[in-house]
Structure 1
């Protein structure tokens, strides 16, 4: 679902296309096809040009974020471009509020700069003043026939202004929402600032769906759904972080036992061990009884030969923790390391394990308890 293709490095920033770009040629052919006439090639060329311009303007927007981040000493990992937008992946938030505001404001400012340059060129055209009046009020009686260059300049101004203004709406995950959250964090807690901007994102998204219905604009409706989805996901992520911060490790700790799997054991024995537990991941030890890694049940069921030794299939990577470690910090370390779980040590010995699956179960149980508060009591 999230497959991308690398197209190169632009100003040193890795840039990728989302798989959904394969739908763009299909959309162009759809809009250029006329029943009873066939494919209108001038329309194919026109919509291809418009798509190329939109791609360029979104790229400029994301480069504004990425290059400003690099200038402020913040890592910009890559840019991912979608047919209707894009995103500059900045893994870590800037430490200073000023840097965060500048980074997220740089995208809209880049679009406004492009719009200003195109507007200047448009005004310098022989009928520049009349063209401006024509674009502002196309229902007027002005007799103006813009040339191809003038039409493209008008589109450049309009699209970049829409990109800038639309992204400055105070709704997460838009730039305006991120700027608002950065400013709110100065006076209130990070969690409260996130709740305010994500709730505003959901509210504004719902309002935009209503506007898209009235205007008959499906693209606006799709963009509104994007805002709602990401706002709700961020709100849920914040709830999960808060829940983990309040939880203790004992709630997800699987104690160590005497029954052990070794790297030289067969897959058959490992499958038998999985049959005796509800865990989907088990630890694997070396010949010195030292923890060597973890093996996943699904891997053994999907691709392993029952007579092969387990060492061909387990992952020899894990992180360590102490019983008094914060569960939220530990979970973030597990996710960042991209491993199955962590080994918990006390006085130099393994006392248990924390697996990602158990953390997910904890959050799922908490969510169900939350929803039960709002269920009506059963009738007698």
Structure 2
């Protein structure tokens, strides 16, 4: 599942970049409002509204920190099992540890998934112990109430995530079990996704029922969470199928043919007008006497002052091809696109020192979907990266479009 509305980075923990999706902010405000106007006034009456606001803000921030620690548990377990986690993102209703690829064995998925709920249970125990200590030390009632509330929230988070519906943790654990039994990761994912859709539909029905009884807040929350789970399950399945399709498709199947090359002696001004403004690529090979000398991209030419572009040759701003992310024609799209996400808007495809094509990440999904409609590839051809015994599962190679 991917972030919803874009995100920004706030730091790094244990080597994992931490990001916040923009969808997190309205939900954070709604959570603070719910805590401050409903939960804490009901649990601890006769306090001023400023006290409830402080309690609600502290509880919300500590709860989101708990969600972050939950995802960090996934990420650390994934690192131990050889799964590369690119970043952790907080977003609407929770967070996600975004892995580069699926786990290679059912046991890997089981362990890295179980780490999240176990982390939440541990946090529930810590907050409960802190609450008991606060009571023993005669701390103020608001502090005791917030600590007890956080213990309950983390326990509920662990239990809720164990519901066997994908993409919840329970759904992923269920998927790992089905995968271990059947040896088919695609089938296991589809079964777990059905569970997620059924659970989301049940939440929507419960929310509508509560709304009909006049329970506006609880009904709205249940319906909204149910809608989110249904859509997240469908989105996760589509993303899974697409990624596994791309693992089987070589770069050569979807790359553009040999792109136009820029002569090293051409001026930057001409390169901008004749190539960067007219073509779709953001990087071009640079040749001298028919031989590749490097790559020039849109950032390099844009940094040349406008009054110097007519007299500056492209060779002056050309980078060696070795410094530019490139793709090999026989590697999988998944590996190539990972490098594109790491800092390149487009990739040149090079074989034996010659540019044989270009790969534009913005067009890859469209071309893969076209191959799927033409019957050249199918998710049903895609097996797990490794079977339960650890051996790779062979699948038919994708045909070139």
TM-score, length basis structure 1: 0.69
- Report if aligned partners of 1:208, 1:220 keep a CA contact under 8 Å in 2: yes
Task: Kindly report which structure 2 residues correspond to 1:143-154, keeping only aligned pairs within 5 A, or say none.
Answer: 147-148=141-142, 151-152=145-146, 154=148
Aligned pair in 2 of structure 1 residues 312, 48: CA closer, same or farther (>3 Å)? farther
Match of 1:342 among 332, 348, 355: 348
Task: Kindly report which structure 2 residues correspond to 1:103-122, keeping only aligned pairs within 5 A, or say none.
Answer: 103-116=112-125
| Separation in 2, partners of 1:214, 1:222 | 13
Task: Kindly report which structure 2 residues correspond to 1:1-380, keeping only aligned pairs within 5 A, or say none.
Answer: 1-7=5-11, 9=13, 15-19=18-22, 22-23=25-26, 26-27=29-30, 40-72=49-81, 78-82=87-91, 84-116=93-125, 147-148=141-142, 151-152=145-146, 154-186=148-180, 187-215=182-210, 216=216, 217=218, 218-241=220-243, 243-244=245-246, 252-256=254-258, 260-274=261-275, 279-281=280-282, 283-287=284-288, 289-290=291-292, 292-293=294-295, 295=297, 305=306, 307=310, 309-310=313-314, 317-322=324-329, 325=330, 328=333, 331-332=336-337, 335=340, 338-339=343-344, 340-345=346-351, 349-366=354-371
Residue 50 (structure 1) shift: 2.4
TM-score, length basis structure 2: 0.66
Instruction: Give the aligned length.
Output: 341
Match of 1:133 in 2: none
Q: Secondary structure at the match of 1:352?
A: strand
Which residues of structure 2 form unaligned runs of 5+?
A: 39-47, 211-215, 376-401
Higher Cα Rg, which structure:
1
- Report if aligned partners of 1:334, 1:342 keep a CA contact under 8 Å in 2: no
Residue 105 (structure 1) shift: 1.0
Say what the alpha-carbon RMSD is for the aligned residues.
4.4
Q: Secondary structure at the match of 2:157?
A: helix
Aligned pair in 2 of structure 1 residues 123, 231: CA closer, same or farther (>3 Å)? same
| Separation in 2, partners of 1:53, 1:20 | 18
Which structure's relative contact order is higher, taking Cα pairs within 8 Å and 6+ residues apart? 2
Residue 12 (structure 1) shift: 6.5
Residue 51 (structure 1) shift: 1.2
Stretch moving more, 194-203 or 178-187? 194-203
| Separation in 2, partners of 1:240, 1:62 | 24
Q: Secondary structure at the match of 2:288?
A: coil
| Separation in 2, partners of 1:338, 1:275 | 19
| Separation in 2, partners of 1:312, 1:170 | 59
Residue 195 (structure 1) shift: 2.5
1:334-374 Cα offsets, whole Å, 9 max, x none, are 5465431232437x64443343344333135457779xxxx
- Report if aligned partners of 2:325, 2:340 keep a CA contact under 8 Å in 1: no
Q: Secondary structure at the match of 1:172?
A: coil
1:23-58 Cα offsets, whole Å, 9 max, x none, are 477547866689xxxx93122123123213422432
